[in-house]
Structure 1
Amino acid sequence: MAFALRGVPGLRGLHDLRGPAAVALAYTLVQLVLVVPGTGLGWDETVYVSQVSPDVPAAFFSAPRARGITYLVAPAVLLSSDPAVLRSYLAVLSGAALFLSLAVWRPLLPARVLTVAGALFAGLWVTVLYGPQAMPNLWVAYGVLIAVGCFLRAAASTSAAGSRGALAGLAAAVCGVALMRPPDAVWLVFALGASALVVRRWRRPALLVVLAAGALLGAAEWLVEAELRYGGVVPRLRRASEIQGHLGWYPGALLDQLHALDGRTLCRPCGPEWRWPATGLWWFLVPLAVAAGLVVAVRRAAPAAREALLLAAVTGGVLAVPYLFLIGYAAPRFLLPAYVLLALPAAAGVSALAARGPVLLGAVACVALGHVAVQYSVLDAAVERSRATRAAFARVAEQLRAEGVRPPCVVSGHEAVRVAYRLGCSSRQVGGHDHSLTGGALRAAARERPVVVLVAEGHPVPAYAGDWRRLPLQPLPGLSAFRAHLAPMPSFSSTVRQHDIRKTTSNRPSSG
């Protein structure tokens, strides 16, 4: 198996991208068929989407978050409040982004390796599940794949025009990563910057300048917000660490990430139970495939292709470090940027193995089929949970709407963000990391608008809501017994106020 560094493909070279294009198209269609129909917004998604929704007050935006994904979803959210519109928009966009990020690597690696790499990445249940979701991690993955590819092309370019184009792509990609998740951009810049210093041929000041400039430009909004809302970058980082359970040395996070592969989208903590160990078998195959790909690259590949696979493996490993060892909980989406880079050397290894004869080709095909079957079993269960969650929140919203809870209104307590979004209300909390008002202020608000406090079974009623009417609610996922405490409804003597309420109610968003 031979690799060669080729020129940038023009129109004549587009046929080389048919494999990656087919993978990207299949990835989009799978999302549209299996994930988009009937799924609603998760808690994090609701926070991001509410920032630009014209029908719903913005939910509290905590210190660890960045607004990149909000900007990305804004066109669809402004067009419609229907989650299906947002899901379809992101499904198409994520498929296009997968193709673009693979195409950047075409001058560096053979089309068959890129096709296999795209299939390995797009075949993961977590990649398919988050393709149409308003979450930043998948877009960070595309950004880092483009960034590493453009870095290599800029370092290898012998023409001024080619160098300028690759540097512009590198700047844009790093900027996009920083806009989505500034901490990930720091690790990316560290990996690529250190590589530029270690490899003599890559010691170009322009690479370091572009890396720094792209990261600063992308993180500019986050940095300004840190100054305005938190009093500086350090206080915001400190607050972000508190919300995430105090970042530090957590070697057990690696095991949590392994356990989370059984379909749990968030483990905080995962606990010792591993419900379906078969879902994690592929994790043990990845290092073997990556090692095989690197061995093939060292022995047979052209120097440029060898460097490309080595840098992809190193950068992918660096991006995985914080989520495997430095955070005390797990979510499979955190590792998407590492997976997409490791897919390149893994694809080289799988391709080399499959080319060694029909027996090995058959073995690879059998393993691939088993892997896909497991991945889509996990995906199906995750999607069904999302659909059930959407239906449950819709029932709760209808219950509260029937009790007169309509905009302008305030919802507080357990799952306030998602319930408020479906009612068109504000979500405000008296405690926790999104503390934004006092109990007295909430009671004062109840004199002007409907106010609801949501309480899970086993939790005491807050003192400020102790005399409010109790309403048992339909169960929500994870909360078998759930109730609302409704403040006495304010009397609106003004016909203008009544008109405002009717007008706001008529514009409320669909339950999603």
Structure 2
Amino acid sequence: MAKTLNVPLVAMERGGPTTAPRVPRRVGSQIWPAVVAGVFTLTQLALVRPGMGLGWDEAVYVSQVSGHAPAAFFSAPRSRGISLLVAPVASWSSSTSLLRVYLAVLSGLGLFLALRVWRGLFPVRVVALAGALFATLWVTVFYGPEVMPNYWVAIGALAGVGCFLRAQADHRDRAALWGMGASAALMAWMRPIDAVWVSLPLLASLVCVRRWRRARSLAALLAGLGAGAVGWIGEAYVSFGGLGARLADASRIQGGLGWNIAVLDQLRSLRGQTLCRPCTSSVPAPELIAWWFALPLLAALGLVVAVRARRTAGTLLPLACATTAGIPYLFMIGYAAPRFLLPFYALLAIPVADALVHLVAASRQAWRPVVVTLVALAAAGHLAVQYAILEDVVDRSTAAREDWARTAAELHRLGVRPPCVLTGYEALPIAFYAGCSSAQTQGHNASTTRADLLRTARRTPTATLATAEDGPPGYARGWPAHRFGDLRIHVGPAAAAGIRG
């Protein structure tokens, strides 16, 4: 491994010169990351079904830029970065298939660019393997073509840490500075709070490590974070009563951020639950979660390899950023969603890949075939588990979204057509499918009052959705009720008059 070390990082850690020699442009250094990214894109298109409808959160984000339905209520924790990312397609087309293909291609390109940053910092086989490890997780494949921000935070984190290391290795590398700023902006554009957590070790090293104190690196990082978060901060003052009020609202919606060990919640969600809230199910079978326990062990081995090779910075920094990225979702929140840890997985992929390559390369010649066989069998088992979970997640998600589409069609049959308003159980995603506005009088998405809703129902087609167990709110109990599957659709006066007429 010593002969493949990156010279600039070794020199930087020894306190020596930081002028980096030119890295030879070898074809392989570009081809293998490109192959990984291309296979990742094709896997998304093959396994996540471009025709799969939009999920709950996706409907919120797409509705902000779509002409298909009015904009849904936008709660405090959300940021508009992902809405703007899909605007080139969603603003003029209602085709979910086209949107999925667009995001699959874009996510593959993003992965390639993020991996390319690490060229020269690690051998190409390590970089390509890291990309493959991250790109074959079921959660990565599922959320690559989804209108969700977490994958893009992960890409920004992976690229940003790599650009930071390149900028520290060569202070004349302006492309690295621009890349660091752009990566920080991408993260903050998508999820500002996550961007801060990921960036904490970078900021700390720029302030506390004497040989890393470079004003231009600090300025690039802060400028990127500020540029990405400025819209979210401005919206906080326009719509939420200030930055402090928006942060407080975001914390309340997420159950109150504070010391709360959610490690078991994340484990429970690994069986394929896209949202585990409340998270009361049993821990999945060992074969489904073994990889999760292997990650920290392999990452620790990667750090040992780096220390012995005297190139600690290249491994320690992504490990530190992965740790801070995972802290809020492992120890500060009362529920779990696998997508929250995508930045954690992306950053761990580099040291884990380095450890796996070392295990094979450092084994004795006589034992190498055995080691290679064991690693290959473990990888095959890992892939089988990941894609079995992915298939189940896609099937369940597709079924739920088809139910929403059928409910929307039934609403149209009952006279609830645009312009219209829906409220009640799962009203937000169903409203998007029906082309209606959604409104709630209570809960995290509260956007109107009971009196305003009753006034609206007299002049605009309105319906309240309820389950048989819960029943409708008091104001809708006198409205005509229609059973549709497990739902009860209570049609307001305006829509009911339309039906009778």
Regarding TM over 0.5, the answer is: yes
Which residue does the alignment assign to 2:235? 225
Counterpart selection for 2:487 from 482, 489, 496: 482
Amino acid at match of 1:359: V
Aligned residue among 436, 439, 453 for 2:464: 453
Q: What is the distance in 2 between the residues matched to 1:460 and 1:359?
A: 62
The one-letter amino acid paired with 2:33 is P
1:179 maps to 2:189: yes
Measure how far apart 1:11 and its partner are: 8.7
| TM-score, normalised via structure 1 length | 0.91
Q: Indicate which of 276, 293, 302 corresponds to 2:285.
A: 276
Q: Percent identity?
A: 51
Matching residue within 130, 136, 152 for 2:149: 136
Q: How many angstroms does 1:447 deviate by?
A: 2.1
- Residue 446 of structure 1 aligns to a residue in which SS? helix
SS at match of 1:191: helix
Distance 1:325 1:132 in 2: 28
Summarize the alignment of residues 384-395 of structure 1 with structure 2, pairs less than 5 Å apart.
384-395=395-406
1:333 to partner: Cα distance: 0.4
Judging changes above 3 Å, is the alpha-carbon distance between structure 1 residues 360 and 11 closer, same or farther for their aligned structure 2 residues? Answer: closer
RMSD: 1.8
In the alignment, which residue of structure 2 is the partner of 1:123? Answer: 136
Q: 1:26 aligns with which of 39, 52, 69?
A: 39
Structure 1's unaligned 5+ residue stretches are 475-480, 499-512
Residue 308 of structure 1 pairs with residue 314 of structure 2 = yes
CA distance in 1, matches of 2:333, 2:496: 49
Q: CA deviation at 1:386?
A: 1.5
Q: Note if 1:338 corresponds to 2:344.
A: yes
Would you say the 8 A contact 1:146–1:173 is kept in 2?
Answer: yes
1:440 aligns with 2:451: yes
Q: Is the CA contact (8 Å cut-off) linking 2:421 and 2:462 kept in structure 1?
A: yes
**1:298–1:11 distance in 2 versus 1, CA, 3 Å:** closer
Shift of 1:29: 0.3
How many residue pairs are counted as aligned between the two chains? 481
Partner residue in 2 for 1:206:
216
* 2:12 matches 1:12: no
**What residue number does 1:382 align with?**
393
* TM superposition shift of 1:319: 0.8
Confirm or deny that 1:258 pairs with 2:267. yes
Q: Is the CA contact (8 Å cut-off) linking 1:8 and 1:107 kept in structure 2? A: no
Normalization by structure 2: what TM-score? 0.93
Structure 1 residues 197 and 213 mapped into 2: Cα distance closer, same or farther (>3 Å)? same
Deviation at 1:55, TM superposition (A): 2.0
Q: 1:399 to 1:156 in 2, by over 3 A?
A: same
Supply the AA of the counterpart residue of 1:383.
Answer: V
- Distance in 2 of aligned mates of 1:173 and 1:330: 26
5+ long unaligned stretches in structure 2: 8-19
- Cα distance, 1:10 vs. partner? 7.7
Q: Which residue pairs with 1:216 in the alignment?
A: 226
The structure-2 alpha-carbon separation of the partners of 1:46 and 1:9, relative to structure 1 and needing over 3 Å to count, comes to farther
2:270–2:284 contact (8 Å) kept in structure 1? no
For 1:411, the equivalent position in structure 2 comes to 422
Are the counterparts in 1 of residues 199 and 321 from structure 2 also a CA contact under 8 Å? no
SS of alignment partner, residue 494 of structure 2 = coil
SS class of match (1:58): coil
Deviations 1:142-186 (A, max 9, x none): 001111111111111143xx1x22111111110111110010111
Amino acid at match of 2:63: S
* Residue 40 (structure 1) aligns with: 53
User: How has the CA–CA distance of structure 1 residues 11 and 96 changed in structure 2, closer, same or farther, with 3 Å as cutoff?
Assistant: farther
**Distance in 2 (alpha carbons) for counterparts of 1:9 and 1:267:** 48
**How far off its partner does 1:57 sit?**
0.2
State how far apart, in whole Å, the 2-side matches of 1:492 and 1:11 are.
75
Q: Please, which of 292, 296, 301 is the counterpart of residue 287 of structure 1? A: 296
Q: Is the 8 A contact 1:440 1:464 kept in 2?
A: no
User: Which residue of structure 1 aligns with residue 16 of structure 2?
Assistant: none
Give the residue type in structure 2 aligned to 1:414. Answer: Y
CA distance in 1, matches of 2:265, 2:392: 19
Letter in 1 for 2:437: S
Name the SS for the 1:12 alignment partner: coil
Q: Taking structure 1 as reference, are residues 491 and 344 closer, same or farther at Cα in structure 2, changes over 3 Å only?
A: closer
Distance in 1 between residues matched to 2:463 and 2:23, nearest whole Å: 60
* Conserved 8 A contact 2:480-2:496: no
- Equivalent residues of 1:262, 1:277 under 8 A apart: no
CA shift digits 1:42-74 (9 cap, x unpaired): 100100000000121000000000100001011
Equivalences for residues 23-172 of structure 1 within 5 A: 23-159=36-172, 162=173, 164-172=174-182
Match of 1:249 in 2: 259
